[in-house]
Structures are given as C-alpha cells and as structure tokens.
A and B are shown apart, each in its own frame.
Chain A
C-alpha cells in the first residue's frame, strides 16, 4: 500500500504552520531562525511530493535550489546574529528595541 499524496501535503502544511507559529511566538533569535528553516523544509517536502506524483524532475531541482538558499541564508543570518550578540550580549528579540516598532 502506498502512502497517498495528501498525507505528504498535510504533513508539509503542518510543518509550515509550525514554522510560522514559531516565527511569530518565539523570542530567541536562533529559535526564530530555526522556525524559518522549518518553513523552508516544509516547502521542500511539498515539492518532492508533487514532483513524485507528477513524475517530473523540476520539483526536485527546485528543492536543491531551496537548500542552497537555506544554506546561504544560514551563513548570512548567523553572521548577522553573531554581530548583534557581540554588541548587546543578548539574543532575546524583546531586548532589541533601539528603534520603536
């Protein structure tokens, strides 16, 4: 018995919503950043599932590029986070409020 595509898509949607929720409610910058990665992985899952059902490769190619982008984002993002931490010794977003929202 094969797993129907809808299960993959539901899993992907759940992961995506968890990522969004983490982004909105977590207060630690690293956790927020991990939530963004979770969203991108949800995207990857749905691309792979679609590409399997459609019998096409372009979805899987997209996944490679999303991974590349996630890696580049991690490089830039962690560098920015390190600079922020050096200048304030805190990773809580509530402490980072020099400019009013």
Chain B
C-alpha cells in the first residue's frame, strides 16, 4: 500500500537518517539497562550506529556509481543525493564519531554520563543529513530545526553549571530568532515563486523582472538567517557565549559538525534558489566576509579563555570559507569543501587536547591551564602545536591546503584586494595561535599533575593528527573528493 507514496528509491535515500534516528531511540532505551560505570556502552552503541550509517551511505554511493548517476532524487524532488550531499554527510559522520570518542572521558569527569547525550548527537545528525540532501524549503527548515534543537539541549547539558545554562539559553534564543527570520524569508520566496522546491524557486526567480523590492526583502531575510547559522559577523554574537559555556566536548562538536551542516545549507540555498540573484548578494557577502575576518581575528587576540578564543577563531575561519563563495568559481567551491574537511580534523584535534586537560578541579579552558604542557605531556603539546599551525595555515599541514584554494580562487576571479586582506589576517591569526604555543612551551607548569589520556581520547588524537598531516602532505585524493562535491551553481 505504501508503494503509491514511496518508491524503493525514496526509502533507500532516507535509510541513513532512519538508521540514525533508530539508533538514537535505541540508546535512550538501552541506557536504562547500563549501570553507572558502564555508561560508556552508550558511546559504543552510538559509534555502531554511525558505522551502520556509513555502510549505508557507501552502498548508496556504490549503487550510484555503478548506475552512472551523478545524483539521485526522491520524494518528488524533495530530497537529492548528489556528490555534494554525500561529501558533507561523510564530514558530519566523521566529526560526530571523533566527538563521541572524546566525549566519554569528559562526561565521566563531569559525572554527567547520560545516554541522552549520545542520542541527541545522533538526532542532530539526522537533521544534518536532511540539511545536506534537502531540495525543498520545507525539508530544509525541518532539518535545520531537528539539528538545532538537539544542539541547544547539548549546549546546556551540564544542568548544574550556570555557564552551561547561560550558553544554552543564549544559543537557543538567538537560534530561534534566526530561524524565525529565515522562515519569513522562505515564506516570501514561496509567495514570489509559488513553489517550495529549490530548483522551481530558482526558475521562477529567473523569470521575474529584476528590481522588485519584495525579492530583495526575501533575499535579505533568508541571507540573514543563513549567516546567523554559520556565525558570520554581524550575526556572530551568540557564538562566543555558546562556545564558552557549553561543555568542552560539545563545543568541539558544535564548532565542526553543525557548522559544516550550516555551511551545506548556506551553499545549497545560495547556489540554487538564490543563484539568479547573485549580483544582489555578492556585494553584501563581500562586506560580511571582510567584517567576519576583521572582527573574528581581532577579537580573538584579547581572549584569555581558550574556548572563547577558538570561538572567535572559528568565526574568522567562516570568513575565509565564505570568500570561496564570493569567488564562486569551481576552485572556490572546491576550496570551501576542502577547507571544511580540514577544519573538522584540526579543530576537533584542538578540542581533544582541551578535553584531556579537564580534571575534577581544573576546568582546563583558561589559557593558563595550558602552561607548561610540553613539560607535563610532550606528546599532546606537540600535537597541539601541529593543530595550531594547521589552523594558522602553515604549509606542511592540512590547513594550508584549504587556504591555498580559497586564495587561488580569489586571484582567478580578480578579487585581489580581498586576497590581500585575507593574507594579512593570516598573520594576525598566527599571533594569537602562538600565544598558546608560548604558554605550552615556554612557561613553567602551574600544576604538576599528569594528563590522563583515556583510550577514546588517544584514538581521537591519533585520527585527527594523522588526517591533519596526511591531507597536508598527500592532498591529491582529498582534492579529488572535494572536486566531486562541487555544487554546480544554478545556471
């Protein structure tokens, strides 16, 4: 009886999301069976869920390449699995897996080891999957909210901690506010074009005479909502507070997987329905990019809290990535894809070290807590150094590759001034990243206790470091992967 509504292909396309949702529900149930000291089994279940989803994704990918399709659509065009969607879904899965690996130790230290944590992570992944694959305004909106609502709760997961409460509240209020603005933009787009399908919206916008003020209102509200979600200046105020107050493991998660999902969302909307309006938004985006780089980098200089510093650093990285969209050619879009992949590994690497620093009485998120790390635990200090070099974009590491493609695309499209500004701010970024290096290598350790590296943290460190170096030294396969993910701008 379902055959009238769903084809086999439709079911195949939502299988990854269904698996994630089922595993999330499963964790909620099996959590009740685990004793307090066996709560790490929830993490194992979550990783198993991610593994099954990965297999499912690989099967879809193989079926597509066997049939020679570059994209498969389902649900009457509402969902599209193409190279772009697959690439981003892989990023979400990998980022979440690494975040789960280092979460186990963090939650044990905090004594807040509940199964809901992992379930919420998987539920937010369901939302991310739909953000990457949706081709319809309704599906995009629901995907966004599924992701965001789970992450609001995760940000406030430490119920007794006032900073965590505050982070959740600010994140929630500003997130809901930006969703409201975005929904208003969507309603205007629907009214202007008479369709919620992204491609039909683009078609109808092409046919419309230019200069209609309602079109600009729709563009501005939609763009504001999107820029809020990626935390671009001037819509970034929520990010430092949410990042600082949230549990450290969630800050690491929030700054990678949901950020990549917000980027997938932004790229999809800017490159499909809003592509005909490119002349109108390009100038706007240039201003946002420059502001984001300036404010992100300059504000990071004066921070004394490591998590807040990395919040501003992540804002500045958003500025670099958006530059790829300003350039808008294939190199630029490929650059964004490479940059996000690399950013996920280096940023999660940093947060793995920060999680390892946390102990019962030491929060580990003031810059001073890093002092003398090299003498206490040389390995993690050297790892941290490599991640910081990569974030700054120094050649042998992966971070260089992301910046390289972005700068190349700017030069190819003759945005010389933007390229110069971007390079100048790389130097500024070096300054504040090296403040951390000075702390680690040239200060005495303030407290002598050794770091406690759990197996999960060790695996997370190994993966992130290996990827940061491998992508930097042997980039060809990753560039090819990213090239396969480039979304062709509408017309």
Instruction: Give me the interface of A with B, judged by CB distance under 8 Å.
Output: 9, 12, 16, 19-20, 23, 29, 32-33, 36, 39-40, 42-43, 46-47, 49-51, 53-54, 56, 58-59, 61-62, 65-66, 68-69, 72-73, 76-77, 79-81, 83-84, 87-88, 96, 98-99, 101
Contacts and interface: CB of A to CB of B under 8 A. Distances in A.
Nearest to A56: B194
Interface size of B as a range:
35 or more
B194 A46 contact: no
A80 B375 CA distance: 41
Contact of B149 (A54, A72, A88): A72
20 contacts: A9-B191, A23-B173, A36-B176, A39-B181, A43-B183, A49-B191, A53-B191, A58-B138, A59-B187, A59-B190, A66-B141, A69-B142, A73-B176, A80-B165, A80-B168, A84-B165, A87-B162, A99-B167, A101-B237, A101-B241
Contacts of A80: 152-153, 156, 165, 168-169, 172
Interface in B204-220: none
Nearest to B244: A99
Chain B: interface secondary structure?
A: helix
A96 to B, nearest CB: 5
Given A39-B181, A58-B190, A80-B152, A32 B142 contact: no
B190 A43 contact: no
B184 interface: yes
A66 B183 contact: yes
Interface string B215-252: 00000000000000000000001001100110000000
Given A56-B194, A69-B142, A99-B241, A47 B176 contact: no
A65 B173 CA distance: 20
B215 to A, nearest CB: 14
Top 7 nearest A-B pairs by Cβ distance?
A39-B180, A50-B191, A43-B183, A46-B187, A69-B145, A84-B165, A36-B176
A99 B245 contact: yes
Interface string B147-165: 0010011001001101101
A56 B186 CA distance: 16
Nearest to B241: A99
A33 B190 contact: no
B166 A98 contact: yes
Contact of B166 (A9, A62, A73, A84): A84
B249 to A, nearest CB: 18
Contact of A62 (B145, B176, B196): B196
A62 B197 CA distance: 12
A50 B190 contact: yes
B177 A83 contact: no
Contact of A96 (B141, B156, B169, B172): B169
